[in-house]
Structure 1
Amino acid sequence: MVLLNCDPDDMEGTLGLIEELTTNAREMQQQVLKEILTTNLKTEYLNGFLGEFDDAGGKWRDHVVAFKKHVPIVEYDQVSPYIERLANGDRSTIISSQPITELLTSSGTSGGQPKMMPSTADELDRKTFMYNVLVAVMNKYVKGLDEGKGMYLLFIKPEISTPSGLMARPVLTSYYKSKNFRNRKSNKYNACTSPDEAILCLDSKQSMYCQLLCGLIQRDQVLRAGAVFASAFLRAIKFLEDNWSELCLNVRTGELSDWITDQSCRESVRKILNGPNSRLADAISSECSKGWEGIVRRLWPRTKYVDVIVTGSMAQYIPTLKFYTGGLPLLSTMYASSECYFGINLTPLSAPEDVCYTLLPNMAYFEFLPVDMTHHHGEEDDKDSNQSCNGYGGGVIQKPVELVDVEIGGYYELIVTTFTGLYRYRVGDILLVTGFHNSAPQFRFIHRRNVVLSIDTEKTNEDDLLHAVTQAKILILEPLGIRLTDYTSFADSSSIPGHYVLFFELDAVDTNAKVMEQCCEVVEAELDAVYRRCRNRDKSIGALEIRVVEKGSFDVLMDFCVSNGSSVNQYKTPRYIKSEEVVCVLEEKVVGRFFSNNVPNWEQQPRNMHPT
Structure 2
Amino acid sequence: MLCSRAIKNLNPKLEFVEHSPQKCPRMLLLPDYDPNDCEAGMRLLEDLTTNADQIQKQVLKEILHRNSHTEYLRGFLNDDDEYDDEEVFKNKVPVVNYEDTIPYIQRIANGEPSQIISAQPITEFLTSSGTSGGQPKMMPSTAEDLDRKTFFYNMLLPVMNKYVDGLDQGKGMYLLFIKPEICTPSGLMARPVLTSYYKSKNFRNRPFNRFNVYTSPDETILCPDSKQSMYSQLLCGLVQRDEVLRVGAVFSSAFLRAIKFLEDHWKELCTNIRSGHVSDWITDPSCRKAVSIILNEPNQELADLIEQECGGGKSWEGIIKRIWPRTKYIEVIVTGSMAQYIPTLEFYSGGLPLVSTMYASSECYFGINIKPLCKPCDVSYTLLPNMAYFEFLPVKKNNGGGELSQDQVHSNGGSGGDDKEEIMETVDLVNVKLGHYYELVVTTFTGLYRYRVGDILMVTGFHKNAPQFRFVHRRNVVLSIDTDKTNEEDLLKALTQAKLVIEPLGFLLTEYTSYADTSSIPGHYVLFWELKMKGSNGLLPELDTFIMEQCCSTMEESLDSVYRRCRKKDNSIGPLEIRVVTHGTFDALMDLCVSQGSSVNQYKTPRCIKSEEAINLLNSKVVGRFFSQKTPFWEPFRIETSK
Is the pair's TM-score, using the shorter chain for normalization, greater than 0.5?
yes
Shift of 1:556: 1.4
Tell me how far apart the structure 1 counterparts of residues 590 and 310 of structure 2 sit (CA, whole Å): 46
Shift of 1:56: 1.8
1:128 is the counterpart of 2:150: yes
Which amino acid is the alignment partner of residue 330 of structure 1? L
User: Which residue in the other structure is 2:629 paired with?
Assistant: 597
User: Which residue in the other structure is 1:184 paired with?
Assistant: 206
Q: 2:182, 2:636 within 8 Å by CA — same for their partners in 1?
A: no
Tell me how far apart the structure 1 counterparts of residues 396 and 425 of structure 2 sit (CA, whole Å): 12
Range 92-101 or range 164-173, more displaced:
92-101
User: Which residue in the other structure is 1:200 paired with?
Assistant: 222
Shift of 1:605: 8.0
Once the two structures are superposed, residues 1-54 of structure 1 have per-residue CA deviations (whole angstroms, 9 ceiling, x without a partner) of 22331210111111101101100000000000000001001000011001x1xx
Alignment of 1:85-164 (within 5 A): 85-164=107-186
Shift of 1:184: 2.4
Tell me how far apart the structure 1 counterparts of residues 487 and 84 of structure 2 sit (CA, whole Å): 40
- Report percent identity of matched pairs: 69
1:32 is the counterpart of 2:74: no
Which amino acid is the alignment partner of residue 473 of structure 1? K
Q: With structure 2 as the length reference, what TM-score do the two structures score?
A: 0.90
Q: 2:276, 2:295 within 8 Å by CA — same for their partners in 1?
A: yes
Once the two structures are superposed, residues 272-329 of structure 1 have per-residue CA deviations (whole angstroms, 9 ceiling, x without a partner) of 0011110111111111123311000000000000000000110000010010011100
1:445 is the counterpart of 2:471: yes
Q: With structure 1 as the length reference, what TM-score do the two structures score?
A: 0.94
1:559 is the counterpart of 2:591: yes
Shift of 1:578: 1.1
Total equivalences in the alignment: 587
1:417 is the counterpart of 2:476: no
Unaligned runs of 5+ in 1: 377-384, 607-612
1:45 is the counterpart of 2:72: yes
Shift of 1:65: 1.6
Equivalent position SS for 1:444: strand
Aligned residue among 293, 318, 327 for 1:294:
318
RMSD: 1.3
Shift of 1:604: 8.1
Q: 2:274, 2:298 within 8 Å by CA — same for their partners in 1?
A: yes
1:174 is the counterpart of 2:190: no
Alignment of 1:528-607 (within 5 A): 528-603=560-635
Alignment of 1:288-437 (within 5 A): 288-289=310-311, 290-373=314-397, 375-376=398-399, 385=400, 387=402, 392-397=403-408, 398-437=424-463
Tell me how far apart the structure 2 counterparts of residues 518 and 572 of structure 1 sit (CA, whole Å): 28
Shift of 1:60: 2.9
- For residues 396 and 58 of structure 1, do their structure 2 counterparts lie closer, same or farther at Cα, with a shift above 3 Å needed? closer
- For residues 350 and 551 of structure 1, do their structure 2 counterparts lie closer, same or farther at Cα, with a shift above 3 Å needed? same
User: Which residue in the other structure is 1:8 paired with?
Assistant: 35
User: Which residue in the other structure is 2:525 paired with?
Assistant: 500
Shift of 1:602: 1.8
Q: 1:6, 1:133 within 8 Å by CA — same for their partners in 2?
A: no
Q: 2:395, 2:404 within 8 Å by CA — same for their partners in 1?
A: no
User: Which residue in the other structure is 1:379 paired with?
Assistant: none
1:223 is the counterpart of 2:234: no
Once the two structures are superposed, residues 60-114 of structure 1 have per-residue CA deviations (whole angstroms, 9 ceiling, x without a partner) of 33xx221100111010001111101111111151110111000000000101110
Aligned residue among 465, 469, 479 for 2:491:
465
Unaligned runs of 5+ in 2: 1-25, 409-423, 534-539, 639-643
Shift of 1:386: 7.7
Shift of 1:59: 6.8
Tell me how far apart the structure 2 counterparts of residues 325 and 121 of structure 1 sit (CA, whole Å): 38
Shift of 1:481: 2.0
Equivalent position SS for 2:116: coil
User: Which residue in the other structure is 2:49 paired with?
Assistant: 22
Once superposed, which parts of structure 1, at least 4 consecutive aligned residues long, lie more than 6 Å away?
none
Shift of 1:554: 1.1
Tell me how far apart the structure 2 counterparts of residues 122 and 76 of structure 1 sit (CA, whole Å): 23
Q: 2:68, 2:83 within 8 Å by CA — same for their partners in 1?
A: no
Which amino acid is the alignment partner of residue 281 of structure 2? W
Q: 2:394, 2:406 within 8 Å by CA — same for their partners in 1?
A: no
Which amino acid is the alignment partner of residue 405 of structure 1? N
1:67 is the counterpart of 2:89: yes
- For residues 605 and 105 of structure 1, do their structure 2 counterparts lie closer, same or farther at Cα, with a shift above 3 Å needed? closer
